[in-house]
A and B are shown apart, each in its own frame.
Chain A
Amino acid sequence: MSAPAVPEAPADAPVAARSYARRLLGRPELGSVVGALAVFLFFAFAADSFLRASSLSTVLYASSTIGIMAVPVALLMIGGEFDLSAGVMVTSSALVSSMFSYQMTANVWVGVGVSLLVTLAIGFFNGFVLTRTRLPSFIITLGTFLMLTGLNLGFTKLISGTVSTKTIGDMEGFDSARALFASHFTLGGVDLQVTVLWWLGLVALATWVLLRTRAGNWIFAVGGGVDAARAVGVPVRRTKIGLYMAVAFCAWISGQHLLMSYDVVQSGEGVGNELLYIIAAVIGGCLMTGGYGSAIGSAVGAFIFGMTSKGIVYAQWNPDWFKFFLGAMLLLATLLNAWVRKRAEASK
């Protein structure tokens, strides 16, 4: 085929590549970065103690506990699905490792390993049922959410007799497990929890996967146009199941942190957290309908969450107001994202 002489592109199209500013405008996380700056400045003025190193440490810790889960939840949302069971799955994961180790009087690491397998199996179940039945993920994971909530309470009462697990703080392997999941270290005068490292590591990994691997291309494709993806040979089922298992994997990390930082687990915990993860992902620029978003955005979303939840305390306001701020933030961020995206698309 020889190249036809007349190009089909519109005559008014400039030959230069998009300018740097326009590229920036096209980033999904732009709106959230602006929002994060605004929240930061707001609390820097409203709360005197907000800018102290110890406050930063607290804010980062709060951000990381949400952020670790917001990363896979964002990937899943880019892939076009929800996981409402993500919050209680964290608790399930912690319960499994705690109770397995205690009942079998095994090394804590054995429980941690068993918990990984069980949690991944829950994630696989979510993905498998979704891809087989093609029901909305909202319904399926709502079902898993309720079932896990019941199982958490039921099994814990059955085995421990109370709503919390027995302490495993004196068991073999607990100290090394705590070092991995719930230790803290000092960096430049700031005392940081190890979860911050987990969080940043996961954000970097997810960003690499999303933008530079085939799997990342497939995640965008199954969320942005599932029929098109299937038609060009993208393994849709595998991609979606993989995403649910990524959520499960991160739930396992969060669950082990939960267990190792207190050495007991309350079986009723985790309910409602799934919405916080989704909020962080949406504030970070993920489109509810899929196909658009970023892992870095979810981190910024989680950071906004951390700043707001702790900033209110530092400003010495009544923390009862926190949820109101979170809701207002969600609305504002979503509006801002929509506005930015419209501007970005119009400027092309």
Chain B
Amino acid sequence: MAQAIRKISKRVPDQQEEQAQATEEIMRELTENKEAVLGAIQLMKGLQEMGIYDALRGMLENRTEVGAIAIQQINQPFMHNVIKNGMNGAKFLGSLSPEQTEKMMKGVGLGLQKMAEAGQQEEPQSLWKMRKKLKSPEIKASIAAMAAFMEGLGTAFVQPSQQEQDKKG
């Protein structure tokens, strides 16, 4: 004979037992990672002394407010420009061909070297001498390259920007 019953006696987990098990696990991890733990404690101690923990706690407890202020600060034209310029810079670097860059950098290096050498010469540079130098193939190549560069630069100035294009479209 078994009547319907609803009562369930749950075996409440022994708190002490559970605690002992947890402590054991923690101690095992601590001893196995002694160096890392001690290092971390040193670091934490430093941060504590500097008052950084308090500041972090304050920020954490008010994270929504702090986050809103932070994002507001970041979401400003100045920061937009910083980010955009950063990205444009990266894009620029990405667009350069490494061989060309190498060549140019080498050229710049040699140019600097020559410049330094010229500065050390005691003999004054006469216009005549300089005109004569213009005939050298190195200088001609350099001036031609400069002219080509300026042409490219000018093209970008003359063409409307993408944004302007969008507005028109």
> Do the two shown chains form a genuine complex with each other?
no
* B interface residues with partner A (beta carbon < 8 Å): none
* A interface residues with partner B (beta carbon < 8 Å): none
